[in-house]
């Protein structure tokens, strides 16, 4: 078979498009914060020291939620260091990334930046070196109206109205031996339960995320989720999932097919959570918060101990190519195809550190290749996700065996159809989309992120080498839409059906 077929029917839905699927992540790591989102004195800085150029790019990208302040950073973080007058904040050692943390950027600056972007916070609490009391105190500071120690301190700091933060992560990657204050599943499960109980006493309207496994390769994967959830299932709303997909693994076809691993992980975590629900006799169904995901050549990273103490060093600043954009597009498609059970997703990170946005101190900001599939998906995925039945040629991979060369998702919103498709192969792929059940089309368009060189990148000198471009040739014939997808490409096909 040299062509692919995609069958769609509006009668068969996965679920509504969750806006929180288009989340990002700002961690005090490398240059994500300092000279990334925050750089006082920069020509583009506002009165708060926030880079307007980065704010504009985050808005263009369509970011809806942002996880903060970590990541590994949070497990040694004292939130009180990041509130109040900046001149009075202490400088600390960050043990996660061996960085000198000035705390010039903290909770207030983050919330001001977030309002400018138009996104909501996903806040993480320290369950590594701290615990129930500190998490409760932070929630009181952010969400309680006033008249208490911590809410009055927020008011004293110039913020009269509560921040009203709804989503809270109960720690970060607590299974990881690299984590400061890591725990066994039993230890963490009990701590998560008690922390959730206390936090809900302060604000019963919040949504809580329990830590799942830090990746699928850690020996305790799946058994960790089962044990943790037996302790805290009824107190939480989400179980987290994290994964990074390695461009330097040596198996190029397997790398292009990284979405296979994401799909297996989502289905495995769902199965584990539902097993615990059955065991506990609970009718509640947890969702997944896939709150760390991206392409990252982590096999090249020497580990935290290889880093020297520094303030905002250049670490893990990946230069992304067209192939990376195709992989990121396929991961976004996989999240959409599981919209019934994945409620939150955060691409890590937003600026400089394995990021869609790059900046230079005192200089420009620009879009990396992976910016574009995110922006196109966040901008056009609306309404209901339809079940996408794919029939496509197979491609061989060392990691997953044979996989379809095409991965696709579709959304339908008041007659507006958006089809997101990735050609993982190295040849053009003709595609036929069966539009049974849809009215007659009144318009069709095709936009692609591709290049003759799949290794093409955007750089400071050539920031617009790779951009979305319109393709001619997409056509409607009765209830069939036909197009040709370029090699190793992310594609958006749009149609109006009324």
* Residues belonging to the active site: 173, 292
Quickly count: other Cβ atoms within 10 Å of residue 271's Cβ: 11
Q: How far apart are CA 399 and CA 378, in angstroms?
A: 29
Residue 60 three-state SS: helix
DSSP secondary structure, 171-225, as one string: SS-TT-TTSTT---HHHHHHHHHHHHHHHHHH-TT-EEEE---S-TTSTTTTHHH
DSSP letter (8 states) at residue 327: H
**Greatest C-alpha distance within the chain:** 69
Q: How far apart are CA 52 and CA 29, in angstroms?
A: 20
Q: How far apart are CA 237 and CA 153, in angstroms?
A: 29
Quickly count: other Cβ atoms within 10 Å of residue 368's Cβ: 24
Helical (H) or strand (E) element with 58: helix 52-61
Q: How far apart are CA 220 and CA 202, in angstroms?
A: 33
Q: How far apart are CA 145 and CA 141, in angstroms?
A: 9
User: From residue 498, how far is each of 16, 143, 438, 441, 442 by CA, in Å?
Assistant: 20, 45, 8, 7, 7
Strand duo 384-386 + 13-16: pairing? antiparallel
**Is the omega angle on the peptide bond into residue 250 within 30 degrees of 0, that is, cis?**
no
Closest by Cα among 448, 427, 455, 297 to 372: 448
C-beta separation of 206 from 166 below 8 A: yes
User: From residue 217, how far is each of 175, 179, 245, 261, 422 by CA, in Å?
Assistant: 12, 16, 12, 11, 26
Q: How far apart are CA 192 and CA 450, in angstroms?
A: 44
467 DSSP β-pair partners: none
**Of all residues in the chain, what percent are helix, strand and coil, respectively (each to 5)?**
30, 30, 45
Closest by Cα among 124, 191, 167 to 287: 167
Strand duo 65-68 + 120-125: pairing? parallel
C-beta separation of 257 from 403 below 8 A: yes
């Amino acid at each position: 078979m040299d062509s692919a077929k995609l069958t769609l029917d509006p009668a068969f839905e996965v679920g509504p498009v969750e806006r929180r699927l288009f989340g990002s992540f700002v961690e005090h790591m490398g240059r994500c914060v300092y000279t990334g989102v925050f750089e006082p004195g920069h020509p583009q800085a506002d009165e708060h020291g926030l880079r307007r150029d980065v704010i504009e790019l985050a808005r263009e990208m369509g970011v809806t939620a942002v996880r903060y302040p970590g990541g590994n950073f949070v497990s040694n973080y004292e939130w009180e260091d990041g509130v109040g007058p900046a001149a009075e904040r202490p400088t600390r050692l960050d043990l996660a990334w061996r960085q000198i943390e000035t705390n010039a950027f903290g909770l207030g600056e983050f919330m001001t930046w977030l309002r400018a972007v138009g996104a909501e916070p996903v806040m993480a609490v320290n369950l590594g070196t701290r615990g129930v009391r500190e998490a409760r105190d932070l929630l009181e500071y952010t969400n309680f109206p006033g008249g208490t120690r911590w809410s009055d301190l927020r008011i004293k700091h110039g913020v009269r109205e509560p921040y009203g933060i709804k989503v809270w992560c109960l720690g970060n990657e607590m299974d990881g031996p690299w984590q400061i204050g890591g725990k066994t599943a039993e230890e963490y499960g009990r701590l998560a339960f008690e922390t959730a109980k206390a936090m809900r006493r302060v604000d019963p309207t919040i949504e809580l995320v329990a830590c799942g496994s830090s990746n699928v390769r850690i020996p305790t994967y799946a058994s960790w989720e089962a044990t943790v959830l037996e302790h805290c299932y009824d107190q939480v709303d989400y179980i987290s999932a994290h994964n990074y997909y390695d461009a330097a693994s040596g198996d190029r076809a397997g790398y292009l097919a990284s979405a296979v691993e994401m799909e297996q992980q989502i289905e495995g975590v769902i199965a584990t959570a539902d097993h615990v629900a059955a065991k506990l006799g609970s009718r509640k169904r947890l969702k997944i918060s896939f709150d760390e995901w991206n392409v990252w050549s982590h096999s090249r990273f020497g580990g935290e101990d290889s880093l020297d103490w520094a303030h905002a060093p250049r670490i893990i600043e990946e230069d992304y190519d067209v192939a990376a954009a195709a992989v990121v597009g396929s991961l976004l498609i996989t999240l959409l195809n599981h919209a019934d059970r994945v409620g939150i997703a955060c691409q890590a990170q937003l600026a400089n550190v394995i990021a869609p946005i790059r900046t230079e101190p005192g200089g420009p900001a620009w879009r990396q290749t992976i910016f574009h599939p995110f922006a196109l998906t966040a901008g056009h995925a609306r309404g209901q996700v339809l079940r996408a039945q794919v029939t496509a040629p197979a491609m061989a991979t060392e990691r997953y065996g044979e996989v379809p060369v095409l991965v696709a998702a579709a959304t339908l919103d008041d007659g507006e159809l958006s089809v997101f498709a990735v050609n993982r192969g190295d040849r053009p792929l003709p595609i036929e989309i069966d539009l049974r059940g849809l009215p007659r089309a009144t318009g069709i368009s095709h936009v692609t992120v591709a290049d003759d060189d799949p290794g093409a990148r955007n750089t400071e000198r050539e920031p617009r080498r790779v951009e979305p471009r319109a393709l001619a040739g997409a056509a409607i014939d009765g209830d069939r839409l036909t197009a040709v997808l370029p090699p190793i490409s992310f594609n958006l096909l749009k149609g109006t059906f009324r």
